[in-house]
Amino acid sequence: MPHDDSFRKHLHHIITALEAWAKEMRPWADIEIDRIDGAWRLSATPRVSTACPFEIVLRSDRRYDIRIGNEVYVDRSLDALTDIPQLVRSIANGRVITRRWESWKTGLLYRVETIVDMPGSEGRFVRENPDAPAVDDVELEAAIEAYAPYRR
C-alpha cells in the first residue's frame, strides 16, 4: 500500500475512534466536530469547570495542532506512534497537569509543560519562552495546575 494511502487509512481510524469517543462524552462535554480546509477538528468543553478543555486539529500533512487547557501546541508530528484517541481519553479522565516554570526572583515565565499521563507512556508538550535569559534551574519554581475528570 502506498505511503499516502497508509496514512489516510491510519487517519480514518483515528477519526472514527474520536467520533465514537465524542458521541459517548456528549452528556459530560460540549463537543464540536468540523472539517476545516482539509483538516479535521474536535473540540471538547467539559461541563465540570475544573476539567480540561481541549481542541485538536488533525491535518492531512501528517501534523496536528492541539490546545490543552489554555496552552496551544502547533505543528506536532502525527505518525503511527501517536495515539491520539488515548491522548483524548486521558485528558477527559483528568490525567493532565500543566506546569508553568517561572523565576522566583523576577516572575518571568520560562517554560510551560503540559503532561498527559497515558497508559504505558506520557504525552509531553513543552513551550519555551524564547525571550527568557539563561538561568540556573534552581532559580525556577513550578506552578502546577491539575484537572478533574469530565465524568463526576
pLDDT tens string 9-35: 888 999 999 999 999 999 999 999 999
| Pairing label, strands 54-58, 109-118 | unpaired
Model-level pTM? 0.89
Domain coordinates of the chain in residue numbers?
A: 3-146
**So what's the pLDDT on residue 2?**
56
Q: Which residue has the higher pLDDT, 78 or 32?
A: 32
Say if CB 28 and CB 150 are below 8 A apart.
Answer: yes
* 105 pLDDT more than 50: yes
Task: Say if residue 135's pLDDT is above 90.
Answer: no
Neighbour tally for 54: CB within 10 Å: 23
- Kindly report the number of other CB atoms within 10 A of residue 121's CB atom: 13
Count CB atoms within 10 A of the CB of residue 95.
20
CA pair distance 49, 125, nearest whole angstrom:
22
CA–CA distances in Å: residue 65 to residues 13, 72, 125, 129, 142: 18, 8, 11, 19, 25
Above 70 in pLDDT, residue 81?
Answer: no
Helices (H) and strands (E) in the chain, counts: 2, 9
